[in-house]
């Protein structure tokens, strides 16, 4: 059994202090970035200075984002288990042994939770008790998170394919072949799946029939998921760039790059009204003008930022590999709040039902309210 970590000690001490209660928000966080467009925007309230509520220790790291739905947290770990925890107390409701590492963030669709594993299996479970409803097997690991759209469960895999599966049975409806691993999650735009694959292309694929509508060359390897705002997709690359892609025209609108500090982007962007915010491996959070691609501000941390930021009103919540969880002002990038977990973050935050839930690389799941 693992010994208590510094994170656990911090939470026990914090739990003795009065909790800062958020407003009664009804919105959950049922998928990787909160909605099918992968915008990373939370829809309900969260305290200005969230206070630790509980922690849960798994057998290995958390790299996947948790899902929050109807008072339950669903979180997959590299120990090969999906955990269902009570949102209020952190008590374990059930766990499910997938058989391999889980890096795929779960999707909650109605009374079913769906996620992939490194063995290439997509599992669909009953949210109430964790009993398996169906199992689909791809021919490569599934790191991407499933998305519900157009009567499909969309998911990419390391067999270079994007799949459309029947939500009720897991039966394959169609598959679309790319020229590289599909590591990122598909975004949904106007009845299409938008994927940015490791083959260096952004592809628009019709959900109805799996046919490619257009493709745009991105100029390099991509591990991140695209985020869609309006008719534009935003995605970072391992060629140290962030691109804005006009999905209707199939053209690049602008390219953002810091010539002084060129580092890759693995984080997915959060999409605000006039700007996007994205984490970089240069240890900085970048705010970029949606129209022009101009830099608006940066915020510097002590570790790379692979985790994807979340917009909560006029705040940006983000986490870095140095163990810092923090909030900055969306307009200025000024720090508003921070918490030192004592362990690094690769997983992104989930914000729903008045809570913030995020896992660390030492296998601790943290809940704030």
Q: Structure pTM?
A: 0.92
Q: How would you write the pLDDT of the chain (369 residues) with one tens digit per residue? A: 333 343 333 333 333 232 222 223 348 999 999 999 999 999 877 999 999 999 999 999 999 999 999 999 999 999 999 999 999 999 999 999 999 999 999 999 999 999 999 999 999 999 999 999 999 999 999 999 999 999 999 999 999 999 999 999 999 999 999 999 999 999 999 999 999 989 999 999 999 999 999 999 999 999 999 999 999 999 999 999 999 999 999 999 999 999 888 999 999 999 999 999 999 999 999 999 999 999 999 999 999 999 999 999 999 999 999 999 999 999 999 999 999 999 999 999 999 999 999 999 999 999 999
Q: Which two tokens stand for residue 219?
A: 């100029």
DSSP alpha helix (H) spans, the chain: 6-15
Closest by alpha carbon to 41, among 346, 314, 290? 314
Q: Buried b / exposed e across 244-273, counting CB within 10 Å, b at 16+?
A: bbebeeeebbbebbbeeeebbbbbbbbbbe
Spatial separation of the C-alpha atoms in residues 45 and 20, rounded to whole Å: 12
CB 358 within 8 A of CB 66: yes
Q: Bridge partners of 319? A: 325
């Amino acid at each position: 059994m693992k010994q208590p970590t510094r994170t656990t000690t911090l939470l026990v001490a914090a739990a003795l202090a009065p909790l800062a209660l958020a407003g009664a928000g009804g919105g959950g966080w049922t998928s990787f970035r909160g909605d099918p467009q992968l915008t990373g925007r939370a829809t309900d309230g969260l305290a200005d200075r969230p206070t630790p509520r509980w922690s849960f220790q798994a057998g290995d790291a958390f790299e996947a984002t948790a899902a929050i739905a109807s008072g339950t947290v669903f979180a997959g770990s590299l120990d090969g288990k999906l955990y269902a925890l009570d949102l209020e107390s952190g008590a374990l409701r059930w766990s499910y042994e997938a058989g391999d590492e889980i890096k795929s963030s779960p999707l909650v669709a109605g009374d079913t939770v769906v996620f992939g594993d490194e063995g290439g299996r997509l599992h669909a479970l009953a949210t109430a008790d964790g009993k398996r409803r169906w199992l689909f097997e791809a021919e490569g690991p599934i790191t991407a998170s499933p998305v519900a759209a157009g009567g499909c469960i969309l998911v990419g895999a390391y067999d270079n394919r994007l799949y459309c599966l029947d939500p009720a049975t897991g039966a394959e409806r169609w598959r679309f072949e790319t020229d590289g691993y599909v590591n990122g999650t598909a975004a949904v735009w106007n009845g299409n799946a938008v994927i940015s694959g490791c083959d260096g292309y952004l592809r628009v694929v019709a959900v109805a029939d799996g046919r490619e509508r257009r493709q745009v060359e991105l100029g390099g390897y991509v591990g991140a998921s695209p985020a869609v705002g309006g008719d534009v997709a935003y995605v970072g690359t391992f060629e140290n760039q962030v691109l804005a892609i006009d999905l209707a025209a199939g053209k690049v609108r602008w390219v953002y790059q810091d010539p002084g500090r060129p580092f890759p982007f693995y984080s997915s962007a959060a999409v605000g009204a006039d700007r996007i915010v994205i984490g970089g491996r240069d240890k900085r959070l970048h705010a970029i003008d949606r129209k022009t691609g101009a830099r608006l501000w940066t915020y510097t941390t002590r570790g790379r930022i692979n985790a994807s930021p979340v917009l909560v009103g006029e705040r940006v919540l983000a986490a870095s590999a140095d163990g810092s969880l923090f909030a900055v002002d969306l307009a200025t990038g000024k720090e508003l709040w921070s918490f030192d977990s004592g362990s690094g973050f690769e997983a992104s935050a989930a914000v729903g039902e008045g809570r913030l839930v995020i896992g660390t690389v030492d296998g601790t799941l943290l809940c704030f309210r």
